Structure 1
Amino acid sequence: MTTTEWAPTACILCECNCGIVVQVEDGHLARIRGDKAHPGSQGYTCNKALRLDHYQNNRARLTSPMRRRADGTFEEIDWDTAIVEIAEGFKHIRDAYGGDKIFYYGGGGQGNHLGGAYSGAFLKALGSRYRSNALAQEKTGEAWVDAQLYGGHTRGEFEHAEVSVFVGKNPWMSQSFPRARVVLNEIAKDPARSMIVIDPVVTDTAKMSDFHLRVRPGTDAWCLAALAGVLVQENLCDEAFLAEHVRGSDAVRAALREVPVADYASRCGVDEELLRAAARRVGAAASVAVFEDLGVQQAPNSTLCSYLNKLLWILTGNFAKRGGQHLHSSFAPLFSQVTGRTPVTGAPVIAGLIPSNAVPEEILTDHPDRFRAMIVESSNPAHSLANSAACREAFGALELMVVVDVAMTETARLAHYVLPAASQFEKPEATFFNFEFPANTFQLRRPLLPPLPGTLPEPEIWARLVRALGVLDDAELRPLHEAARRGRQAYAEAFLSAVAANPTVAKLVPYVLYETLGPTLPDGLAGAAAAWGLAQKTAMAYPEAVRRAGHADGNALFDAILASPSGVTFTRHEYEDDFALISHADRKIALEIPEMLKDLRALAAAPPRLTTAEFPIVLSVGERRAYTANDIFRDPSWRKRDADGALRVSVEDAQALGLADGQRARVSTAAGSAEVAVEITETMLAGHAALPNGFGLDYVDDAGDTVVPGVAPNALTSTEWRDPYAGTPWHKHVPARIEACGVA
């Protein structure tokens, strides 16, 4: 397939999913540039998107279902055999032990969310209850706090903020909001605006900042408590906002009045006057936006840090205003309302997700409620979760494991069956990371190429598996088939009637949409059928905002999505809508969270020292760099520099350990050890080192040799190092030892 046309699609390497346009030649993404017609990114993209052909065309692609033999090797089988055997295997687990013993991990990789929407029908048909994904390694502590404060997720409007605060976040490298580098440059060049960065590393963003609060690793909570303490103690709070829109602020402010600011500044290693100046800048600003990320979300006190950094903008009234923090619409919710405890270890289930660190423990036991089967979709938990060795042992103990992916990943090699998916550029796709305010956007991406022979898009895979279960017959779907041929309105009426009358239809909605509406959609977009249902929900949830965006109802929104390959604005809010999006009945922010206030007061005790004489250095694993991209690029040839993922160490540590730039060193933790090249840099504090993400993946090179560049970070991490509330791992705070290995 060759075309000189520029076809719109999106980058799939971070949550921004910037719009791009692509020219295809002989099956390759030959030329790539930003899509100026995309309503969110407006032509912006970073360097990583330009190398997406390394994902699309590489030797790791699977082209046939694979079944593991008794000796651990794999054999190719046909699709019909795979579907029948997998369906029968899961039915056996369900009938023998209960469907809740079937665990699901995934829901689509980065930018690969549409396929994950269809897995729910198969899982519900089996009675599966428990699931997890990468968000449980990062965002569940923040989600727990958000749920109690206001019931939803917030995002800062950095494009217009007078003061932008980044906590454990380097958006110059990790992006995460539209046109990130453009916006950062605009902030840095405007003398009326300020940037505050809380990070132990002198990151690209920190270099641009007006206030770099360079905390000691693991002491962010003391820094944030001191900042909030200054706001209260120096009367910098927005009293009118707190009185009208917040409840529970008195208890919070009473706790913050007790914060010894000078002492906490000393504990976190930040100059007191610099810290006070940053707090005063927040207190005096007309608008403030805050972004927290993995630097604190995967470190000690992560949930407390999520709470404390939100106090900065709530206490100062920076909500529901231009340049402030906002609740936002969602085209599809990333989190569910399910809470509870896991069946074996009693780990917290937050926003419907089991903590990733608890997964091996929920399998490696003789407990009758242990997970006995697992489905993994577009994810690689054997590589990406803490303590890879424990994950491999656990997955190997399962009675049935099925992986759906484009490549034979580290996780796929442990499966009983591997089903080859079409790539993200060979099928309709979308992302559900829609976080912007006041205008929020959604893009349905068209396939640029036909599916590689032997592969199937995930909607078709899940549909075949549901059919094999025999839970719905053709007669039950016939009225919907007929209604779909008569048009959207007729289909909507028939669909609502079918859902109301037939509980099985209601349980299997994504499958039903794919089977009945899907065949009527144009241009091979059957896999987009689930987006019709999401458009209806969106129009019901935000009717005025959808109409302001130009869509009369859910059908009109869906038609606009189909007609807008570069993306569409699906909601357009007004700032006062923020208050209506608060889920509490009184539409007020509930600031007092007793557990958090208890932990805030507990900071008065000395910070616990997690390093030891044996492991004296704090290792941060998974650092994002210019040439790292999680696991999606298995082909290492896309990297133009840092090909082996160097261990970054401070000048002081290098001198003390006798390390030279480029020398090999051994880094060891309680969980394991690895040899790696060293990069000496002034960006790291003494006692702090960093390894990048995206390394340690094997790949067959041009010579036919298997290469494994860099270190797999989770060979060095432990499932025991986790947040007490959310179970999120402490990937950014791993006690380690570094020793010289000699000159390379």
Structure 2
Amino acid sequence: MTDLQETTENEEIDQTKIWHKTACVLCSANCGLEVRIDDREITRVRGNKAHVASAGYTCEKGLRVNHYQNNTSRLTMPLKRIEDGSYIEVDWDTAIQEISNGLKEIAEKYGSDKIFYYGGGGQGNHLGGAHSTATRQAYGITRKSNALAQEKTGEAWVEGQMFGTHTHGGFHDAEVAIFLGKNPWHSHGFDQARRVLKEISNDNNRSLIVIDPRRTESADLADYWLQVKPGTDAFLLAALGAIIVNEKMTDDAWLAENAIGVEEIKTVFRDVSIDDFAKRSGVTLDQLRAVADRIVQAESVSTYEDLGIEMGPHSTLVSFLHRAISILTGNYGKQGALGPHTSIAPLFNYSAAGREPEDPVTGGRIISGLVPCNEIADGFLSDHPERSRALFIESGNPVHSLAESDKFRQAMRKAELTVVIDVVHTETTEQADWILPASSQYEKAEATFFSANFPENTFHLRQAILEPLEGTLSEPEIHSRLVQASGVLDNVDLVPLREAASEGLDAFAGAFMSAAMENPAVSEYGAVVLYETLGKSLPKGKEGAAVLWFSCQMAAQKYPDQIRAAGYEGEGAGLGNNLFKAIINNEDGVIFTRHEYADAFDFLTTPEQKINLHIPEMHEAISQLDAAPAKYTSKDFPFVLSAGERRSFSANTIVRDPEWRKKDKEGALRIHPNDALTLGVENGGRVRITTHGGEAVAVAEINETVQPGYVSLPNGYGLSYSPAGGDSEVVGVAPNQLTSTVWRDSIAGTPWHKHVPARLEAVPR
């Protein structure tokens, strides 16, 4: 902590010259940082060369984290909405008790399953969500969702049936790296992304393949850039797969040993209209054949899909198609190819893949327990007797980040109780009945569960580098108070566990296991029990990391040999304890498992423990592509808008101060010169964008990287912010003022943020 630094015998240390180790919280890469602090200002930032994953790498965004930490939107006291719509400050005890009473009243009146939980963490904070499990258990909350359900659930649905686990590419070693609807130059997605892109681009023996409608920074480095027409990725990949099958490029010997459903998927690909699909995609047959040849000649191929296809037509099918191509060419479980990975805490549960329950109100598939984001508002606004009645939001801004913002506002106002936990005032807190102020991500220990490396995987627990802002609490503390207010821990004696924790981890492990066997509440509300017992024995600021002790114990049971191979000693609980100690004490992060590539097949939980290519719903979807439209534009809406492009200074909604951006201050609409000429739009002029979901006015940037008929807006703009703490200002366009919940994937219900039919008009000066 910055106020606890020791001094030497002869002189006082200049606090402003100390480098504190932490991490960037602006994207899922979470690159390690070192920062200097003066009072509460982060004055200097550099990459942490000792960081276990990023090794000193950072991009321009990470250097601006002070704009996240210090801004005028911080919340400092619990707020309660009163009848006139304004807010009053209340003390924490009152807020916790009234919220607890409100949740109980909803449960008694309608059933606890009518309480909906959204969120649980952003790009840099997952420990709060880990503690929310106890709160949800205490109040019987079963309906839930988060941003993954507008991005990754289609992918999870495919991976659950194909592998039974999550997979990730080995891009640092891949001979061929393929990116679909992804621009790693800005969106990262793996460690040291720009370094890796440059290495591949500069190596004559390796190839970079980018499939994207726009000539992105990554496409500029590519050996093969396939400028697919917006929304036609499924046609392109189906044609590519058909070429590989029809020209007998598949690795049949490998497939016979490692996959099932091979002949079924080959039969489907043989019926694909290759010429027609290539024309629909806008990519020539020669380009597709060249890419097919490069894939089959390579020793290793890794693919990465991202929001460009996950938020567009046929997104779940695309998730299947590129993985099917990888498997048909033998690219799994070897260096540089697709592989599984370990987890301190997994983000998805694949146990019900392909057998998901349906939401009782909307009928949508609940993949990995998550209600599709495009259906949450409908679940409140419906007259269905099973509709949701209360909404609990944590570390999320769904009013801004989910489709059709105004619809979500209506849903929040219809709910009988809404609670939001956040660090700052947001578009979502503006609609809440209760607002609970959380300490920032640099004022408490934090971590994420994104790491997906193989054969070695890493984990980094960040220490607190600042004292919590007065009036705020960490999410673990908030959840602890809510759980205790519910009364479910009234019969749990925490004193013996605290005493055992003070004696050391070995004593605590035995005491915790015994207590859990004697009283089920100890494990049912385990995150809070750990926080209130083991957490009190951890260094100041790291109390919320106690929940990781149980995660380490689970990892030690699941991967004992691989944890020992990573350098940890012990058996059973002792092994888990040693891993936990390493995580708690290492500011640079740790390698927590070390596998061999051959172990990749041990992760498969599919029939016969082989890769499963027989997913009938996907086979049918490929067959139905013949009759599917190649475009969704019309005379009234002739353009395709990509709403939420990643750029140099976009970071979801976590940085609200627009002054953090060194360029693209207003978040320009990128438009092709030919379209600008036709519309009479000048560079820097104003353009009115109209969609099925709404309209907005943006500044124009005439840009040749987009193709005619295709325009893009960045994510993270259109946030309300008051530079001086007075009336709020809005800079740029909020993308979800233009999107619609109607446009969604037929399987996963994920939105079409990156494929919005739109009309453009020049706004006279």
TM more than 0.5 = yes
C-alpha contact 1:17 1:111 (8 A) present in aligned 2: yes
Q: Deviations over 1:173-210 (max 9, x none)?
A: 11110000000000000000001111110000011111
How do 1:320-359 residues align onto structure 2 when only pairs under 5 Å count? 320-336=333-349, 337=351, 339-359=356-376
The 2-side partners of 1:456 and 1:99 are apart by: 26
CA contact (8 A) 1:45 1:179 kept: yes
Q: What amino acid maps onto 2:62 in structure 1?
A: A
State the shift of 1:701 in Å: 1.8
Q: Distance in 1 between matches of 2:381 and 2:236?
A: 39
Q: 1:190 aligns with which of 200, 203, 209?
A: 203
Q: Does 1:310 align with 2:332?
A: no
Aligned-partner residue type, residue 617 of structure 1: F
Q: 583-592 or 437-446: which moved more?
A: 583-592
User: Residue 284 of structure 1: which of 285, 290, 297 is its match?
Assistant: 297
Partner of 1:673: 695
What is the CA deviation profile of residues 453-491 of structure 1, one whole-angstrom value per residue up to 9, with x for unaligned ones? 000000001101111111112653233222222221121
Query: 1:675-707: per-residue Cα shift (whole Å, max 9, x none)?
Result: 111011111111111011001101112484522
Does 2:168 match 1:155? Answer: yes
1:288 and 1:318 in contact (8 A); partners too: yes
Structure 1 residue 97, shift from structure 2 partner: 1.4
AA of the residue aligned to 1:638: W
State whether residues 225 and 256 of structure 1, in contact with CA within 8 Å, keep that contact through their aligned partners in structure 2. Answer: yes
Aligned to 2:598: 576
Distance 1:736 1:362 in 2: 27
Residues of 1 paired with 2:607 and 2:594: CA distance? 23
Partner of 2:640: 618
* Structure 1 segment 43-122 matched on structure 2, within 5 A: 43-122=56-135
Distance in 1, matches of 2:519 and 2:265, equals 49
Q: Confirm or deny: 8 A CA contact 2:535 2:542 kept in the other structure.
A: yes
Contact 1:219–1:607 (CA under 8 A) maintained in structure 2: no
Post-superposition CA distance 1:2-40 (Å, at most 9, x none): 442211111011111011111111111111111111111
Given the alignment of the two structures, is residue 451 of structure 1 paired with residue 468 of structure 2, yes or no?
yes
Once the 2 structures are TM-superposed, how far is the Cα of residue 302 of structure 1 from its aligned partner? 0.3
Q: 1:524, 1:704 → 2: CA distance? A: 32
Structure 2 match to 1:19: 32
User: Could you tell me which amino acid in structure 2 is paired with residue 587 of structure 1?
Assistant: Q
Post-superposition offset of 1:343:
2.1
Alignment of 1:406-421 (within 5 A): 406-421=423-438
Partner Cα distance (1:696, 1:76) in 2: 27
Are 2:72 and 2:724, in contact at CA under 8 Å, matched by a contact in 1? no
Residue 477 (structure 1) aligned to one of 475, 479, 494: 494
Match of 1:595 in 2: 617
- 1:177 matched to which residue of 2? 190
The 2-side partners of 1:551 and 1:297 are apart by 39
**Structure 1 gap segments, 5+ residues each:** none
AA matched with 2:301: V
Q: Counterpart in 1 of 2:506?
A: 489
Name which of 359, 362, 374 aligns with 2:379: 362
Query: Which letter does structure 2 place at the counterpart of 1:714?
Result: N
Give the superposition deviation at 1:58: 0.3
Match of 1:466 among 483, 489, 500: 483
Partner of 1:4: 17
CA distance in 2, matches of 1:531, 1:145: 29
- Supply the distance in 2 between the matched residues of 1:255 and 1:4 (Cα, whole angstroms): 64
Counterpart CA distance in 2 for 1:114 and 1:460 is 11
Which secondary structure state, in structure 2, belongs to the residue aligned with residue 618 of structure 1?
A: strand
Name the amino acid aligned to 1:464. R
Matches within 5 A, 1:480-629: 480-552=497-569, 553-584=575-606, 586-629=608-651
The match for 1:381 is: 398
The secondary structure found in structure 1 opposite 2:698 is strand
Does 2:196 align with 1:165? no
Aligned partner (choices 706, 714, 717) of residue 692 of structure 1: 714
2:61 partner amino acid: K
The structural deviation recorded for 1:266 is: 0.9
Alignment of 1:640-651 (within 5 A): 640-651=662-673
Query: What is the SS of the residue equivalent to 2:677?
Result: helix
TM-score, structure 1 normalization = 0.99
- Provide the rounded CA distance (Å) in 1 between the counterparts of 2:628 and 2:739: 25
2:232–2:630 Cα contact (<8 Å) kept: no
Aligned counterparts of 2:631 and 2:645: Cα–Cα separation in 1: 22
User: Structure 2 CA distance, aligned partners of 1:386 and 1:634?
Assistant: 20
What amino acid is aligned across from residue 147 of structure 2 in structure 1? A
User: Within 1, Cα distance between the matches of 2:295 and 2:667?
Assistant: 37
1:236-264 per-residue CA deviation (whole Å, 9 max, x = no partner) reads 11111100000001000111122222221
Amino acid of the residue matched to residue 594 of structure 1?
Answer: P
- 1:718 maps to a residue whose letter is S
Q: Distance in 2 between matches of 1:565 and 1:286?
A: 37
Is the CA contact 1:630–1:693 (under 8 Å) kept in the aligned structure 2? yes
Residue 422 of structure 2: aligned partner: 405
- The answer as to 2:235 corresponding to 1:222 is yes
Give the residue type in structure 1 aligned to 2:446. E
C-alpha change, 1:640 and 1:740, in structure 2 (3 Å) is same
Letter in 2 for 1:92: E
Runs of 5+ in structure 2 lacking a partner?
A: 3-14, 570-574
Indicate conservation of the 8 Å contact 1:628/1:693, yes or no: yes
Residue 504 (structure 1) shift: 1.8
Aligned to 1:272: 285
Match of 2:759 in 1: 737
Q: Identity rate of aligned residues, in percent?
A: 53
Deviation at 1:608, TM superposition (A): 4.7
Note if contact 2:41-2:70 (Cα within 8 Å) is conserved in structure 1: yes
Normalised by the size of structure 2, how large is the TM-score? Answer: 0.96
Distance in 1, Cα, partners of 2:256 & 2:321: 20
C-alpha distance in 2 between matches for 1:35 and 1:436 = 19
Counterpart residue type for residue 106 of structure 1:
G
Q: Distance in 1 between matches of 2:646 and 2:563?
A: 36
Task: Quote the Cα distance in structure 1 between the aligned partners of 2:89 and 2:731.
Answer: 28
**In the alignment, is the contact (CA less than 8 A) between 1:282 and 1:312 conserved in 2?**
no
CA deviations on 1:398-423 (whole Å, 9 max, x unpaired) are 11000000111111111111000000
Deviation larger for 538-547 or 499-508 = 499-508
CA gap of 1:275–1:83, structure 2 versus 1, over 3 A, is same
Equivalent residues, number: 743
Shift of 1:560: 0.5
Q: Which digits, 9 at most, give the CA deviation of each residue in 1:94-139, with x for residues without a partner?
A: 1221111110000112111011110110110111101111111100
Aligned to 1:709: 731
Find the aligned partners of 2:497 and 2:607 in 1 and give their Cα distance.
38
Which structure 1 residue ranges, 4+ long, deviate > 4 Å from structure 2? none
- CA, structure 1 residues 606+434, in 2 after alignment: closer, same or farther (shift >3 Å)? closer
The aligned counterpart of 1:236 is: 249
- How far does residue 606 in structure 1 lie from its aligned partner after superposition? 5.0
2:441 aligns to what? 424
Secondary structure of the residue aligned to 1:530 is: helix
Cα separation, 1, equivalents of 2:391 and 2:216:
39
User: RMSD between aligned alpha carbons?
Assistant: 1.2
